[in-house]
Amino acid sequence: MKAYIEERAACVAKYIIDSNATVRDAAKKFGISKSTVHKDVTERLLLVNPKLAGEARRVLEINKSERHIRGGLATKEKYMTKPVVKSAKFR
């Protein structure tokens, strides 16, 4: 594995651990795809730094278990801020 990939994987994992970030947050921060973030943390980092990989994996598992709650809150927020439009009456 190339050195820059190992370094990126470690940086992504540290970011996820420090900020409790989701895969999507990390992908935006580092300008890479969600697939790359996931592969960096679950496969590549495991070969380089298993302890760091385990810590990042725990954060991702917690985020995964809470994602349905975040999705529901996002939907609620969407409809709470949407203006109410009255429909025309049909005869």
DSSP structure class, residue 91: -
**pLDDT by position in tens, the chain (length 91):** 899 999 999 999 999 999 999 999 999 999 999 999 999 999 999 999 999 999 999 999 998 888 777 778 778 888 888 776 666 666 5
Residue 60 is predicted with a pLDDT of 92
Residue 5 is predicted with a pLDDT of 94
The answer as to whether 29 is a domain residue is: yes
The answer as to whether 88 is a domain residue is: no
Token pair recorded at residue 81: 């801020």
Instruction: Give Dmax over CA atoms of the chain in angstroms.
Output: 71
Residue 39 is predicted with a pLDDT of 95
Query: Residue 22: which H helix or E strand, with range?
Result: none
Residue 32 is predicted with a pLDDT of 97
Question: Is 12 in contact with 40 (CB distance < 8 Å)?
Answer: yes
Residue 68 is predicted with a pLDDT of 76
The answer as to whether 85 is a domain residue is: no
Task: Please tell me the distance from the alpha carbon of residue 74 to that of residue 30, in angstroms, as a whole number.
Answer: 24
**Tokens 């592969």 label which residue?**
39
How many domains are contained in the chain?
Answer: 1
The answer as to whether 90 is a domain residue is: no
Domain limits at 11? 3-80
Task: Please tell me the distance from the alpha carbon of residue 1 to that of residue 81, in angstroms, as a whole number.
Answer: 47
The answer as to whether 91 is a domain residue is: no
- What is the pTM assigned to this prediction? 0.74
Task: Please tell me the distance from the alpha carbon of residue 5 to that of residue 12, in angstroms, as a whole number.
Answer: 10
The answer as to whether 64 is a domain residue is: yes
